[in-house]
């Protein structure tokens, strides 16, 4: 755990140095383009986070182990955090690049829908209890994940949007590409670290609730 935390912290510092001190300044958007490194990395981390949620939701439906549900919830929570980052940093970039804070183009809209679906996931969880909560949220987690490929391929499906093609980030100038890769690895590691922390907390919370329930049952009998 300490090793992941140390590597994550180191990579974040390195990525910030690379962003502000190493990567070449892009010719059209100049310094504003540097938002790209964390904005795009956060957006890709969202796919990983909701992917983890989907995998463990499926696993829960097959094996019915409560721990799978806890891991799925932790991943969904972090997915929302990273999605919020992508949704908030994007408009700042858009204001400069497209002269508008928001545009109802395919990728932006589908990302907002994704965020709203996982907010709905937590609203559903808060409305239910026990096995029903785990079961219904696992089903919703799998359904919500169907929006991820739509977000990813939105620029290909609906042409004419403001976002560039999917392949653009791979054809970046070398210093920009290396910087982006380091930022992406740093954010995925940060996600992994926070996922472990959150999962452990959720597990402790579940154990506490089980002990409390047992104590209350014993006290009443």
Partner 1 sequence: MKIAVLVSFLAVLIIFFFVAQVPITLTPNEVAKAVSEATSESGVAVDEEVLEQAVQLSVAKLEKGQRTRLKYLASAYLIIWLVFILYVLYLERQQQELDKRLAQLEQASHNA
Q: Which residues bind partner 1 (CB under 8 A)?
A: 5, 9, 12-13, 16-17, 20-21, 29-32, 34-35, 38-39, 42, 81, 84-85, 88-89, 92-93, 95-96, 194, 197-198, 201, 204-205, 208, 211-212, 215, 219
- For residues 63 and 219, which CB has a smaller minimum distance to partner 1 in the complex? 219
Min dist. Cβ of residue 153 to partner 1 (A): 26
Min dist. Cβ of residue 214 to partner 1 (A): 11
Min dist. Cβ of residue 70 to partner 1 (A): 14
- For residues 88 and 128, which CB has a smaller minimum distance to partner 1 in the complex? 88
- For residues 25 and 157, which CB has a smaller minimum distance to partner 1 in the complex? 25
- For residues 20 and 173, which CB has a smaller minimum distance to partner 1 in the complex? 20
Dihedral, CA atoms, 200, 203, 204, 206, nearest 10 degrees? 160
Min dist. Cβ of residue 64 to partner 1 (A): 25
Min dist. Cβ of residue 118 to partner 1 (A): 15
- Secondary structure of 175-210 as H, E, C letters: HHHHHHHHHHHHHHHHHHHHHHHHHHHHHHHHHHHH
Q: Which two tokens stand for residue 115?
A: 């965020």
Let me know if 111 is exposed, middle or buried by CB neighbors in 10 A (0-12, 13-18, 19+).
buried
């Amino acid at each position: 755990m300490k090793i992941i935390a140390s590597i994550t912290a180191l990579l974040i510092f390195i990525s910030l140095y690379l962003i502000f001190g190493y990567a070449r300044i892009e010719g059209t958007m100049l310094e504003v383009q540097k938002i790209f490194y964390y904005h795009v990395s956060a957006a890709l981390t969202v796919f990983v986070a909701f992917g983890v949620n989907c995998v463990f939701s499926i696993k829960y439906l097959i094996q019915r182990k409560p721990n799978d549900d806890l891991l799925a919830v932790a991943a969904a929570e972090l997915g929302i955090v990273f999605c919020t980052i992508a949704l908030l940093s994007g408009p700042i970039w858009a204001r400069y690049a497209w002269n508008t804070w928001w545009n109802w183009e395919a990728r932006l809209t589908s990302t907002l829908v994704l965020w709203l679906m996982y907010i709905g996931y937590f609203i559903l969880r808060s409305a239910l209890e026990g096995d029903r909560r785990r079961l219904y949220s696992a089903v919703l987690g799998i359904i919500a994940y169907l929006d991820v490929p739509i977000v990813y391929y939105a620029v290909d499906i609906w042409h004419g949007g403001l976002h560039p093609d999917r392949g653009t980030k791979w054809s970046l100038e070398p210093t920009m590409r290396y910087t982006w890769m380091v930022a992406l690895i740093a954010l995925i590691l940060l996600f992994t670290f926070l996922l472990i922390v959150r999962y452990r907390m959720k597990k402790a919370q579940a154990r506490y609730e089980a002990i409390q329930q047992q104590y209350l049952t014993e006290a009443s009998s």
